[in-house]
Amino acid sequence: MGDFDFIDRSVSNAEKHTLKEKLFGTQEVLPMWVADMDIATPSCVLEAVRHRLEHPIIGYEIMSKTAYEAQCDWVERHHGWKISTEWLSYSPSVVASIGCAIRAFSDEGDEIIVQSPVYPPFYDMVRSNNRKLLLNALMQDAQGEYRFDLEDLKAKITPKTKLLLLCSPHNPVGRVWRREELIALGELCVQNGIVIISDEVHCDIVFSESTHIPLASLSPILSENTVTLMGPGKTFNMAGFSISTVVIASSQLRERYRKEQHKVHYGDGAVLSHVAFEAAYSQGDVWYQNLMNHLSTNRAMIEQWCIAHPVIGFRKPQGTYLAWLDCRALKMGDRELRDFFVKEAGLGLSAGLSFGKEGSGYMRLNFAVAREVLQQALRQLSEALVRNGYG
Ligand SMILES: Cc1ncc(COP(=O)(O)O)c(C=O)c1O
């Protein structure tokens, strides 16, 4: 079997399948929503875990220095950012780190900037920690490219604004932020005493025409003002290992973060995850290059399909394996649009509206699937469009 061949996940309790009925009201959809890949986790990771299981005791273990060194080495090789193992803390999930950082760096009632449309747990973490959302919607330029709206942000910042949640690369719009964009945003935050939580979990899924730049790598000042969230979950399709990293260069911010983290006592996580983490970062390069080729071909396939079906607007994502489909030309309400995708096209996608009101009229399709699954999905969508008079 090839690395990117179809694998049946309906037999393994995959969320994508088990929640189909609840989310879409039917089992009869191709599930292309939650952001994990229908692609096997690299064999080097699976082998390392199998090897560890040859030792029969799965007790408490701590993250080894070599595991963190493997991540530092990966980040330097792939993103040109030199980080130290001392800056790293374990986290069971990036979203958990966002919650912890919110509690560490702000108080109840403070304002936190969220740049909509964005990954829904950003909103949820702000609200459930009793902070106020300060919405700074992304804008689209004349070419339709999403940009930061710094004028809007400047006008909205108040003394209560304490944090900005940055999504870089951006889910769902697929932007890989350019150096000058990041510097302008970062400087505005520094000037206003706003700490940036930079969620860079998609940092490795970036296509060849773009370069991911870790915000904290841009200057010593930005490094001191940024909490970066990274991990192997997206890159190596190992979300189920529940392991990620919080990178904080500033000793002062690190101390505050760790004090908050200490309160929930999740320690260093699970031994099999440590082993998987180290194997991924130290042995995953070749698999990763092949993954990017696979995703790049899938992305091109969607682009070609959209050229042939101009009623669906599409700008190639610069990063992430998520296609942000502009369905506004179908002139359907959001409920109707969702029903159209489920009932007519047999596709279970994420509704754009779930990312914020700016996502109205969009659907997000996860294209990290086997080639034939994507072909099937596009075929189903073509047929649904034709049947409904959009062909
Ligand atoms: C931007 C972003 N952050 C975080 C996550 C989830 O990470 P975790 O499962 O480690 O909480 C996702 C998953 O889709 C994501 O897109």
| Tokens 């829904």, residue located | 120
**96 Cα–ligand 1 center, Å:** 10
H helices of 141-250, in order, are: 150-156, 179-191, 220-224, 232-235
- Cα of 97 vs centre of ligand 1, distance in Å, is 10
What sign has the CA pseudo-torsion 215, 220, 221, 227?
positive
| Phi, psi at 238, each rounded to 5° | -130, 40
pLDDT of 71 reads 98
- Of 97, 124, 201, 365, the residue with max ligand 1 atoms within 8 A of its CB, to mutate for a pocket test, comes to 201
Q: Give the E-state strand segments of the chain in sequence order.
A: 30-31, 88-91, 111-114, 132-135, 139-140, 146-147, 161-167, 195-199, 226-230, 244-248, 322-326, 347-348, 350-351, 362-366
Q: Which atom of ligand 1 is nearest to the CA of 91?
A: 10
By CB neighbour count within 10 A (0-12 exposed, 13-18 middle, 19+ buried), where does 60 fall? exposed
Ligand 1 atom with least separation from CA of 244: 10
Q: What is the CATH number of domain 15-41+285-387?
A: 3.90.1150.10
| Largest Cα–Cα separation, the chain | 62
User: Is CATH 3.40.50.300 the right assignment for the domain spanning 46-283?
Assistant: no
Question: What pLDDT is stored for residue 1 in this prediction?
Answer: 77
Query: In the prediction, which pLDDT does 184 show?
Result: 98
For residue 170, give the ligand 1 atom closest to its CA: 1
User: What spatial distance separates the first Cα and last Cα of the chain, rounded to whole Å?
Assistant: 37
Nearest-CA residue for atom 4 of ligand 1: 94
Q: Report d(CA 340, CA 388) in Å as an integer.
A: 9
Show the tokens assigned to 181. Answer: 């964009």
- Looking at the chain, the domain(s) classified CATH 3.40.640.10 span 46-283
Asked if 201 and 239 count as a contact pair (C-beta separation under 8 A), the reply is no
List the beta bridge partners of residue 365: 323
211 CB-contact burial (10 Å; exposed 0-12 / middle 13-18 / buried 19+): middle
- 317 alpha carbon to ligand 1 midpoint, in Å? 17
**How many CB atoms neighbour CB 387 within 10 A?**
11
Going from the Cα of 172 to the center of ligand 1, the distance in angstroms, rounded, reads: 11
- How far does the centroid of ligand 1 lie from the alpha carbon of residue 166, in Å? 12
Cα gap 247→385, rounded to integer Å: 46
CA-only gyration radius of the chain, Å:
21
Q: How many residues does the chain have?
A: 391
List the structure tokens of 307. 């050229």
d(CA 309, CA 304): 9
Give pLDDT tens digits along the chain (391 positions).
788 999 999 999 999 999 999 999 999 999 999 999 999 999 999 999 999 999 999 999 999 999 999 999 999 999 999 999 999 999 999 999 999 999 999 999 999 999 999 999 999 999 999 999 999 999 999 999 999 999 999 999 999 999 999 999 999 999 999 999 999 999 999 999 999 999 999 999 999 999 999 999 999 999 999 999 999 999 999 999 999 999 999 999 999 999 999 999 988 999 999 999 999 999 999 999 999 999 999 999 999 999 999 999 999 999 999 999 999 999 999 999 999 999 999 999 999 999 999 999 999 999 999 999 999 999 999 999 999 999 7
Residues touching ligand 1 (Cβ under 6 Å) are 35, 93-95, 119, 167, 171, 199, 201, 231, 233, 239, 244
- Cβ atoms within 10 Å of 33's Cβ, excluding its own: 24
- Residue span(s) of the chain under CATH 3.90.1150.10 come to 15-41+285-387
Nearest to 88 by CA among 222, 211, 261: 261
Q: From ligand 1's centre to the CA of 82, what distance in Å?
A: 23
Question: Which helix (H) or strand (E) element contains residue 79?
Answer: helix 65-79
At 49 the pLDDT is 98
With a CB cutoff of 8 Å and minimum separation 6, the contacts of 294 are 3, 4, 39, 371
What is the Cα–Cα distance from 183 to 278, expressed in whole angstroms? Answer: 32
Cis link prior to 117 (omega < 30° from 0)?
yes
Mutate to test the pocket of ligand 1, among 97, 114, 234, 238 (most ligand atoms within 8 A of CB): 234
Residue 227 DSSP SS3:
strand
User: Using the 8-state DSSP alphabet, how is residue 340 labeled?
Assistant: I
Distance CA 49, CA 1 (A): 20
Q: Are 213 and 183 in contact (CB under 8 A)?
A: no
